[in-house]
Amino acid sequence: MSTLLTGIGLLATQDEELNEIADGALVIDGDRIAWVGPAVRAPDADERVDLGRRAVLPGFVDSHAHLVFAGDRSAEFAARMAGVPYAAGGIWTTVAATRAASDTALRANLSRLAQELRRAGVTTFECKSGYGLDVATEARSLRLAAEVTAETTYLGAHVVPPGVDREEYVALVCGAMADACAPHARWVDVFCDHGAFDADEARAVLTAGLARGLVARIHANQLGVGLGVALAVELGAASADHCTHLTDADIDALASSDTVATLAPLIEFSTRSPYPPARRLLDAGATVALATDCNPGSGFSTSMSLAIALAVRELAMTPAEAVRAATAGGARALRRNDIGVIAPGRRADLVVLDAPSYVFLAYRPGVPLIHQVWQSGRRVWSAIG
Ligand code: NIG
Ligand code: FE
């Protein structure tokens, strides 16, 4: 079954550059994109859909999210807005609620958030554990995450639970917990930051994951400068996430490596922190991804559109750079070459905007512009039913 999408005011395709085809069209065959080009040259297809001159982009790829949890931290957010700074310790509140929740309750919250991401135009998302912090709850979190995505990440090293000896906890994360979690995970992650884990602990955790066949990614340099980014590059991590506080040496290291700098400006927005130096990263030649980092503590938003608007307005990225970071950049951060780009052979994951150009994502911040979402060649969400 093939479908021809026409009436595309501006088709944004991406490889190394963001290419635009005025009056474009594309053909979907099964779950893949079969053809892309100007509408006048479009081949025949079994079915034809006119998109009314709307912009089409690759589906967003959200390479960083924490969605397996119970409860909320709205009171912590309100206190923060009244001047209390964000600290890693707040994670423990969510751990207590998550441990006490049933599988049914966790699954319901997770599928509500997965649906919210889909409506936000996200067609692939990563999902971490990290609100269990004991062997059973971490493994359970990953089993549940694997029900909604293939991109599951073991984050037993989120914080040291209160009352637990640090060394013993790191040994557990590197030992029995890793054994129980690795079968359900593709990635291993660690929160390498002030109030969480230091670089030596983080190295031990990532090395234990690598030894079990997982691939490394890391929460680095969110709360201050530190050794997280250097460690990510040293270990060949797919991505160093947050990158809020970077030295020139960190930027050089990222630019001369395959490690993607994943920025999560919704977190700086929601913690009232300085924004990461996206311009310096891009100008140095680093690959940049944009992620929501949706979580109940530091930032509870699934809006990739708002992340793009912030990247443009606050991080000085151009609209094209921001959209590319939210699509091809996210795919690079997940080491995926089947998504993030509109090109023949790629998965037919698409966002249709109720606007003539991707620029409107930043030009009209906060406005719900996602008109349709296509995933693996099927329309999975539409604003008009
Ligand atoms: O990415 N930084 C560590 N983890 C999350 C926050 C977790 C929380 O506050 O619950 C983050 O910001
Ligand atoms: Fe995170």
Full DSSP string of 127-157 = EE--S--SHHHHHHHHHHHHTT-SEEEEEEE
278 and 213 in one domain? yes
Which two three-digit tokens encode residue 376? 């693996």
For ligand 1, the distance from its centroid to the CA atom of residue 256, given in whole angstroms, is: 27
Q: What is the pLDDT of residue 71?
A: 97
Which ligand 1 atom lies nearest to the CA of residue 64? 1
**Closest ligand (CA of 130):** 1
Which ligand 1 atom lies nearest to the CA of residue 193? 2
212 and 75 in one domain? yes
94 and 19 in one domain? no
**Closest ligand (CA of 91):** 1
Of 153, 194, 244, 293, the one to substitute when testing ligand 1's pocket (max ligand atoms within 8 A of C-beta) is 293
Which ligand 1 atom lies nearest to the CA of residue 88? 9
Which ligand 1 atom lies nearest to the CA of residue 94? 10
51 and 120 in one domain? no
pLDDT(22) > 90? no
Cα(31)–Cα(84) distance, integer angstroms: 48
264 and 176 in one domain? yes
Q: What is the pLDDT of residue 14?
A: 76
Q: What is the pLDDT of residue 385?
A: 54
Q: Tens of pLDDT along 25-40?
A: 999 999 999 999 999 9
Q: Are strands 187-192 and 215-220 parallel, antiparallel or unpaired?
A: parallel
357 and 252 in one domain? no
The position carrying tokens 């889909």 is: 118
Q: Tens of pLDDT along 253-262?
A: 999 999 999 9
**Closest ligand (CA of 87):** 1
In a 10 Å sphere around its CB, with 0-12 CB exposed, 13-18 middle and 19+ buried, how is residue 162 labelled? exposed
**Ligand 1: residue whose CA is nearest its atom 11:** 298
For ligand 1, the distance from its centroid to the CA atom of residue 298, given in whole angstroms, is: 5
- Interhelix angle 199-211/166-174, nearest 10 degrees: 20
Range of the domain at 167: 60-333
Cα(375)–Cα(350) distance, integer angstroms: 7
How remote is the C-alpha of 15 from its chain's centroid? 19
Which ligand 1 atom lies nearest to the CA of residue 298? 9
Of 95, 190, 294, 298, the one to substitute when testing ligand 1's pocket (max ligand atoms within 8 A of C-beta) is 298
For ligand 1, the distance from its centroid to the CA atom of residue 330, given in whole angstroms, is: 19
For ligand 2, the distance from its centroid to the CA atom of residue 190, given in whole angstroms, is: 9
Q: Tens of pLDDT along 70-85?
A: 999 999 999 999 999 9
Q: What is the pLDDT of residue 20?
A: 86
pLDDT(377) > 90? yes
> Sorting pLDDT into bands at 50, 70 and 90, what band is 9?
confident
Which ligand 1 atom lies nearest to the CA of residue 131? 10
Instruction: Supply the mean pLDDT for the chain.
Output: 96
Cβ atoms of 315 and 279 closer than 8 Å: yes
> Sorting pLDDT into bands at 50, 70 and 90, what band is 384?
confident
Cross-strand pairs, 260: 239
228 and 125 in one domain? yes
For ligand 2, the distance from its centroid to the CA atom of residue 192, given in whole angstroms, is: 11
Consecutive H or E run containing 24: strand 18-29
pLDDT(17) > 80? no
Protein residues with CB under 6 Å of any ligand 1 atom: 66, 90-91, 94, 191, 219, 222, 267, 293, 295-298
65 and 8 in one domain? no
Which two three-digit tokens encode residue 83? 């001047």
pLDDT(349) > 80? yes
Q: Any idea what the CATH number is for the domain that residue 52 is in?
A: 2.30.40.10
**Ligand 1: residue whose CA is nearest its atom 5:** 298
CA distances to 69, 94, 226, 358 from 279, in Å: 34, 34, 20, 20
For ligand 2, the distance from its centroid to the CA atom of residue 316, given in whole angstroms, is: 22
Q: What is the pLDDT of residue 74?
A: 97
Rg (CA), the chain: 20
Q: Tens of pLDDT along 167-214?
A: 999 999 999 999 999 999 999 999 999 999 999 999 999 999 999 999
232 and 366 in one domain? no
Cβ atoms of 65 and 266 closer than 8 Å: no
86 and 36 in one domain? no
Q: Tens of pLDDT along 312-346?
A: 999 999 999 999 999 999 999 999 999 999 999 99
pTM above 0.85, yes or no: yes
Task: Give every CB contact of residue 197 below 8 A, 6+ residues apart in sequence.
Answer: 157, 160, 170, 190, 191, 205
Q: Tens of pLDDT along 239-254?
A: 999 999 999 999 999 9
Which two three-digit tokens encode residue 19? 């290419």
Which two three-digit tokens encode residue 152? 């599951």
Cβ atoms of 84 and 24 closer than 8 Å: no
Cβ atoms of 349 and 123 closer than 8 Å: yes
Share of the chain above pLDDT 70, in %: 99
For ligand 1, the distance from its centroid to the CA atom of residue 363, given in whole angstroms, is: 29
Cβ atoms of 323 and 12 closer than 8 Å: yes
Give the CA count within 13 Å in the CB-facing half-sphere of 291.
30
**Ligand 1: residue whose CA is nearest its atom 9:** 297
Cα(67)–Cα(59) distance, integer angstroms: 19
Which alpha helices (H) appear in the chain, and where do they start and end? 74-81, 91-100, 103-119, 135-146, 166-174, 176-181, 199-211, 228-234, 248-255, 265-271, 278-284, 304-313, 319-324, 330-333, 360-363
The position carrying tokens 């922190």 is: 273
Which two three-digit tokens encode residue 39? 């509408």
Q: Tens of pLDDT along 124-178?
A: 999 999 999 999 999 999 999 999 999 999 999 999 999 999 999 999 999 999 9
pLDDT(350) > 90? yes
231 in the Ramachandran plot: left (φ > 0), alpha (ψ -120 to 50) or beta? alpha
> Sorting pLDDT into bands at 50, 70 and 90, what band is 296?
very high
261 and 371 in one domain? no
For ligand 2, the distance from its centroid to the CA atom of residue 21, given in whole angstroms, is: 36
For ligand 2, the distance from its centroid to the CA atom of residue 155, given in whole angstroms, is: 9
Q: What is the pLDDT of residue 89?
A: 84
Which two three-digit tokens encode residue 49? 């859909």
Which ligand 1 atom lies nearest to the CA of residue 155? 4
Q: Any idea what the CATH number is for the domain that residue 234 is in?
A: 3.20.20.140
How remote is the C-alpha of 238 from its chain's centroid? 13
71 in the Ramachandran plot: left (φ > 0), alpha (ψ -120 to 50) or beta? left
Q: Are strands 18-29 and 32-38 parallel, antiparallel or unpaired?
A: antiparallel
295 and 203 in one domain? yes
- Structural domain count, the chain: 2
